[in-house]
Amino acid sequence: MSILVDEKTRVAVVGITGKAATFHARHCISYGTNIVAGVRPGKGGQTFDGAIPIYDSTAEAVAIQRANAVLIFVPPPGAADAIGEAIDAEVPLIVCITEGIPSNDMFLVKERLLHSRSTLIGPNSPGIISPGKTKLGIMPSYIHRPGRVGIVSRSGTLTFETVLQLTKGAIGQSTCVGIGGDSVHGLSHRDVVRLFNGDPDTDGIIMVGEIGGEDEEDAAEYVKRYVKKPVAAFIAGTTAPPGRRMGHAGAIVSGKKSGASYKIAALERAGIAVAKNPAHIAETYAAVAGLGPLR
């Protein structure tokens, strides 16, 4: 079992004829992802690689191919509209890879999501993968191993680092979710932790966070109240100066509560084991889960 996606998920790739979308769609297909449609206005009636039909709109892909997830590769000026079109089409899962969507656009998207049937991962996300089943995104699939640890992260690079450490230690993953590093995004750490907590095939959880916002603190409060599964975490940005953005648009210390030390303290108060170094994330999880030393 996994959360949000599995081998039956029917995916439409929005912007499929673009360079990045073409490259990653092919890798998703080779991994086993069930891509049933592409979407590109003006390209309706054509096919992708001679096999996958392309439509002018997401609504057509949903109506004709019964797509229940979209993977969005659209440049920043049009990405919010692409998300909005998927919301209008009542697509259950929207995964947006695009980085640099204007915050004002995303505030409008967030408002629409509140009154919709859609769930958004991203933007500025590497996507989501259920190892051995399906992937919707840009993650290197070869580092993943099927298993029972759920990962939720704001950082794509640190997601890959965490996965590689686990896989080298013979610890597999149930689902890995990159929620995205922008300040305005869809699913939060708390949302994903809640899903993992309810998944009988996820035995433990790893959270990877960073400075900025209060996402990790909210998740820590949820863990403290409801989660009995082992949880480990890492917070990036311990040396970041206040008021300066570091990497992601959301990674800026704008107050005491958004700093790394405050986040780490909140996690530890919730009983979450926090790795002090990114190289020790898997070791920290193995210790709190009682798995012993990694090989």
Domain covering 11-121 in this structure, CATH number = 3.40.50.720
pLDDT of 251 reads 45
pLDDT tens figures, 146-161: 999 999 999 999 999 9
Q: Within the chain, which residue ranges are assigned CATH 3.40.50.261?
A: 139-288
Structure confidence by residue, pLDDT tens digits, 274-290: 999 999 999 999 999 99
Q: DSSP per residue over 36-58, as a string?
A: EEEE-TT-TT-EETTTEEEESSH
Q: Nearest to residue 35, comparing CAs of 77, 70, 72?
A: 70
pTM score:
0.93
**Residues 173-195: what's their mean pLDDT?**
96
Does the pLDDT at position 246 exceed 80?
A: no
Which conformational region is residue 237 in: left (phi greater than 0), alpha (psi within -120 to 50 degrees), or beta? left
Q: What is the mean pLDDT of residues 197-213?
A: 94
Q: Please state the rounded mean pLDDT for residues 91-117.
A: 96
- Supply the mean pLDDT for the chain: 93
Confidence of residue 238 (pLDDT cuts 50, 70, 90): low
Query: In the beta sheet, which residues pair with residue 11?
Result: 35, 69
What's the mean pLDDT in 60-89?
98
Closest CA to 150 of 111, 87, 196: 196
Residue 275 C-alpha from the chain's centroid: 21
pLDDT value, residue 262: 86
Res 134: pLDDT: 98
What is the structure's pLDDT at 243? 52
- 12, 67 in Cβ contact below 8 A? yes
Q: Is 194 helix (H, G, I), strand (E, B) or coil?
A: helix
Please state the rounded mean pLDDT for residues 3-23: 98
Residue 157 CA to residue 142 CA, distance in Å, equals 15
Domain with CATH 3.40.50.720 in the chain: 11-121
In this structure, which amino acid lies at residue 125?
Answer: S
Residues that are catalytic: 248
* The two three-digit tokens of residue 78, written as one number: 């049009």
Position 213 scores a pLDDT of 81
**CATH assignment, 139-288:** 3.40.50.261
pLDDT of residue 146: 98
Range in 37-51, 201-215, 256-270 the model is least confident about: 256-270
